[in-house]
């Protein structure tokens, strides 16, 4: 495990150096599905560096990454990679974006790192060993009252085929008078729940590489993650609710209210 941890942190930091080097600089921007679903040449440079480091150390491990897709190998180890989570922010010079790398063994997440080089914040978790920010332990908030919570969410480029439009859920929460922020990076959202800056986060239509590392970091910081029914979370699901645990049930009720 120690070698995998070292490789994960090396890959995270090296990709972060690339992001920091190009931040507010000149780089090519392309579009994926949807005019505002961006990908930059820096995403690809950072991804190439991460895959190079992982492949050099663990050539038989599977890699699932946002830009290259799945590189399948006959291994129970899977690296879930988002070279830049928050690409739109990065492309506009907004310093809320990050490298996110999670490592799974079978169905279990065992390591996760999220690094925002512009803020020099490296979040890390190892299964069963807690979560840290720049090496110091972090914990979720102790806020127990939903109406006094501070929440964060995101909106997908493509609206999901769900039982209720996400804007309706957002509207219900805002009408409760609860402050909601929208940062533009799900991985950072999750980490900021983990360190107590936010009390809860919810979003539709995320991909495994968006949430894998942050999921483990929230869990190891003492938080709770589920789908919108309250069921045990899987990073390949499309509904994500992460909280400090204390407001989780009330958030579920608000989210489910329109479909009851």
**Domain locations in the chain?**
2-137, 146-259
CA–CA distance, 67 with 242 (Å, rounded to integer): 26
Architecture in CATH for domain 146-259: 3-Layer(aba) Sandwich (3.40)
Ordered alpha helix ranges (H), 23-148? 41-57, 87-91
pLDDT per residue over 197-225, tens digit each?
999 999 998 999 999 999 999 999 999 99
**pLDDT band with cut points at 50, 70 and 90 for residue 73:** confident
Q: How far is CA 76 from CA 67, 104, 112, 233, in A?
A: 21, 8, 16, 19
This prediction's pTM: 0.93
DSSP class of residue 237? S
- Quick check: 22 pLDDT over 80? yes
**What per-residue string of b and e applies to 40-79 under the rule 16 or more CB within 10 Å gives b?**
bebbbbbbbbbbebbeeebeebbbbbbbeeeeeeeeebbb
H helices present in the chain, as ranges: 2-22, 41-57, 87-91, 166-175, 186-194, 208-220, 248-256
Q: What is the reported pLDDT for 205?
A: 87
Mean pLDDT of the region 182-202: 97
Residue 194 reports pLDDT greater than 60: yes
The Cα 15–Cα 80 span in angstroms is: 14
More confident residue, 220 or 176: 220
Closest CA to 222 of 151, 139, 145, 144: 139
Distance of CA 143 to the CA centre of its chain: 22
Q: How sure is the predictor about 52, in pLDDT bands with cuts at 50, 70 and 90? A: very high
Are 151 and 199 within 8 A, CB to CB? yes
What value does the mean pLDDT of the chain take? Answer: 91
Q: Does residue 259 sit in helix, strand or coil?
A: helix
* Multiple choice CATH, 2-137, 3.30.540.10, 3.40.50.1370, 3.40.190.10, 3.40.50.150: 3.30.540.10
- At residue 70, the pLDDT reads 78
Q: Could you tell me if 251 and 198 are in contact, meaning their C-beta atoms sit under 8 angstroms apart?
A: no
User: In angstroms, rounded to a whole number, what is the distance separating the alpha carbons of residues 23 and 180?
Assistant: 27
The total of other beta-carbon atoms located within 10 Å of residue 141's CB is: 23
Q: Are 112 and 218 in contact (CB under 8 A)?
A: no
If you average pLDDT over residues 146-150, what whole number do you get?
A: 96
Cβ-based neighbours of 208, under 8 Å, separated by 6 or more: 64, 80, 102, 235, 236
DSSP 145: -
DSSP character for 163? S
Helix spans in 120-165 (H): none
């Amino acid at each position: 495990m120690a070698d995998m941890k070292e490789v994960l942190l090396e890959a995270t930091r090296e990709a972060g150096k690339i992001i920091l080097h190009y931040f507010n600089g000149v780089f090519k921007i392309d579009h994926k599905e949807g005019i505002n679903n961006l990908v930059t040449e820096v995403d690809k440079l950072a991804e190439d560096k991460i895959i190079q480091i992982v492949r050099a150390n663990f050539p038989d491990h599977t890699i699932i990454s946002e830009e290259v897709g799945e590189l399948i190998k006959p291994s129970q180890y899977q690296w879930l990679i988002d070279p830049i989570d928050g690409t739109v922010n990065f492309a506009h010079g907004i310093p809320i974006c990050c490298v996110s790398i999670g490592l799974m063994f079978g169905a279990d997440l065992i390591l996760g790192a999220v690094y925002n080089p512009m803020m020099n914040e490296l979040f890390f978790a190892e299964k069963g060993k807690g979560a840290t920010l720049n090496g110091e332990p972090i914990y979720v908030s102790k806020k127990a009252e939903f109406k006094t919570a501070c929440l964060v969410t995101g909106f997908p480029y493509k609206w999901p085929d769900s039982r209720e439009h996400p804007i309706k859920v957002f509207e219900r929460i805002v009408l409760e008078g609860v402050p909601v922020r929208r940062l533009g990076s799900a991985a950072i959202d999750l980490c900021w729940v983990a360190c107590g800056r936010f009390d809860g986060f919810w979003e539709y239509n995320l991909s495994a590489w968006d949430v894998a590392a942050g999921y483990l970091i929230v869990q190891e910081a003492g938080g709770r993650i589920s789908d919108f029914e309250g069921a045990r979370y899987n990073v390949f699901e499309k509904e994500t609710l992460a909280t400090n645990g204390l407001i989780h049930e009330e958030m579920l009720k608000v989210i489910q209210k329109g479909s009851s």
